[in-house]
Amino acid sequence: MTSATAAPRRGAREKRLASPTQRRGEAFFLLGPCVLYLVVFSIYPLVVSLIRSFQDYDTRKNSWRWIGTDNYSQLFSSSDFWSIVEHTLVFSVAGVFIQVTLGTALALFFNQRLRGSAIVRGLLILPMLITPVVVGLMWRALLNPEWGLVNWVFIKLGFHNIGWLSDPGTALRTLIMVDVWQWTPFVFVIVYARLQALPQDVFEASAVDGANWWRRTRYITLPLLLPAILFAAVFRGIDAFRTFDLVFGLTNGGPVQATSTLSYEAFQNGFKYQHYGYASAISYVMLIVAAIGVTVLFKVVNVRREDVS
């Protein structure tokens, strides 16, 4: 009896079930809300942006007009755009390079036992938790050309008064400096955690072998830390590339666009001048770069750990 009915039923069953412990309804129940939510509040806006990037918004008539790739060609032929691309890249690459270097150095420094170092480690987390508007405020106070503490110290030391935020040649460097102040701790935390997780016997063995501190660091510690450093660098790189709020809080893109990033430029065009289409085109250029960055990131780190059976 059973064998006669087994064949047709089996086909039906395979369609219905991936496994007896895993029913389709459950997957929908667990994943559905998340997917649905992201479709509505992330994917749909992205699609709208994509369409807008081929359109022009007429503020008076409150209507959209299809203009093909005009926004993009206008963008790519604008020298302003390319100089902003350059700022953004300089800001991201230089900033992240310094952060990674300093963050790794800090991790190595904190690897020794010092009384009170735990407290300082705790303080280091604070900068990255502060809203960038306030970060901007703090640094504008510190760097104020007339009464700021930094310039006062500089003059006491015999330097010139520096226009940290007012000199177009210096402003981008100042922006990088503040970003370094805020985000070096992020790199530090990642690299330090990795350093703590390394097996101690490797270091002991190399110390017994007579390697000095520098050689141990150069040939053993740093190579072992490399994956963490790489991860932090790519992660920070993508975030720095889309930086908006620090610019907003510190320089407003000025002086004369010297510190404008792509995000800030898109924001200005979109919300201030209501060039929605043009702004969308800028964000799509950014999105493509960010997507490349994310692809690299997921090569560096496995999203899902391999199943250990």
**Segment 194-253, which members bind other proteins (CB under 8 A)?**
194, 197, 227-228, 231-232, 235, 238-239, 242, 244-245, 248-249, 252
Among 4, 34, 157, 208, interactor with other proteins by CB under 8 A: 34
Classify burial at 187, counting beta carbons within 10 Å of its beta carbon; exposed 0-12, middle 13-18, buried 19 or more. buried
In Å, what is the CA distance from 108 to each residue of 104, 113, 119, 127, 295?
6, 11, 17, 20, 29
Q: Compute the distance between CA of residue 9 and CA of residue 15 in angstroms, rounded to an integer.
A: 10
Stretch that binds other proteins, among 62-70, 71-79, 200-208, 278-286 (CB under 8 A): 278-286
Among 76, 82, 109, 219, binds other proteins (CB under 8 A): 109
- Does 273 engage in binding with other proteins (CB under 8 A)? no
Q: Is 63 in the site for other proteins (CB under 8 A)?
A: no
# residues near other proteins by CB under 8 A: 109
Distance CA 272, CA 282 (A): 15
Residue (54 or 248) nearer to other proteins, CB: 248
Cα gap 106→74, rounded to integer Å: 45
* From candidates 67, 90, 98, 138, binder to other proteins by CB under 8 A: 138
Residue whose structure tokens are 């409150």: 62
d(CA 104, CA 250): 27
CB-wise, 73 or 117, nearer to other proteins?
Answer: 117
46 binds other proteins (CB under 8 A): yes
CB of 9 to other proteins, least distance (A): 9
> Of these, 82, 142, 159, 209, which contacts other proteins (CB under 8 A)?
142
Distance CA 149, CA 146 (A): 9
Task: Give the nearest distance from C-beta 82 to other proteins in angstroms.
Answer: 18
The answer to whether 179 touches 97, Cβ cutoff 8 Å, is: no
